[in-house]
Structure 1
Amino acid sequence: MTSHILVINPNSSHKVTKNLEATVVAPEGVKLTFYTAPPDSPLEITPVTSLASETAVLNDFAQSPHLVSDYDAFLVCCYSDHPLVKSLGKLTNKPVMGIMQATLIYALSVNRKSFILTSTSEWEPVLDQAVMDFIGSDSFPTKKFERTRGLNVNVTNLADTEQFNQIYQTTKSIFEDYNDVGCVLLGCAGMAGLDRKLSEKFPDIRFVDSVKIGIELLTSLCRFDSQAK
Structure 2
Amino acid sequence: MSSRNSTVRVLVLNPNSSKDMTHGVEEAIRSIGLPKHLELSTYTAPADSPASINDGSDLERSTAVVLSSFDIEDAIINYDAILVACFSVHPLVTLLSRRLTGTRMHVTGIFEASLVTALTLLPAYPCGVKASNKTWGIVTTGKFWEQHLTDGVAAYLGQREGDPMSSKFAGVYSTGLDAGDFHGGVSPEVIRAKLKGATKDLLCSSDVGCVVMGCAGMAGLEQIIREAAREQYGEETGSRVFIVDGVKAGAGLLDQTVKSARLFQE
Correspondence 1:1-229 to 2 at 5 A: 1-25=6-30, 27-28=34-35, 29-45=37-53, 46-62=55-71, 65-92=73-100, 93=103, 94-109=105-120, 110-111=122-123, 112-137=134-159, 138=161, 139-158=163-182, 161-162=188-189, 163-176=191-204, 178-202=205-229, 203-227=239-263, 228-229=265-266
Q: Distance in 2 between matches of 1:19 and 1:152?
A: 20
Q: Distance in 2 between matches of 1:208 and 1:140?
A: 25
**Alpha-carbon distance, 1:200 to partner:** 4.5
* Contact 1:47/1:123, CA 8 A, preserved across alignment: no
| Cα separation, partners in 2 of 1:40 and 1:194, compared to 1, 3 Å | same
How many residues get paired?
227
**Alpha-carbon distance, 1:34 to partner:** 1.2
* Contact 1:131/1:140, CA 8 A, preserved across alignment: no
* Contact 1:5/1:75, CA 8 A, preserved across alignment: yes
* Contact 2:199/2:228, CA 8 A, preserved across alignment: no
* Contact 1:119/1:158, CA 8 A, preserved across alignment: no
Which range moved further: 184-193 or 167-176?
167-176
Percent identity for Structure 1 against Structure 2 = 33
TM-score of the pair, normalised by structure 1: 0.91
Query: Unaligned 5+ residue runs, structure 2?
Result: 1-5, 124-133, 230-238
Query: Unaligned 5+ residue runs, structure 1?
Result: none
* Contact 1:151/1:170, CA 8 A, preserved across alignment: yes
Q: Distance in 2 between matches of 1:2 and 1:196?
A: 32
Q: Distance in 2 between matches of 1:66 and 1:74?
A: 12
**Alpha-carbon distance, 1:174 to partner:** 3.6
| Cα separation, partners in 2 of 1:187 and 1:32, compared to 1, 3 Å | same
Amino acid at match of 1:36: T
CA root-mean-square deviation? 1.8
**Alpha-carbon distance, 1:57 to partner:** 0.9
Amino acid at match of 1:166: K
TM-score of the pair, normalised by structure 2: 0.79
Amino acid at match of 1:188: C
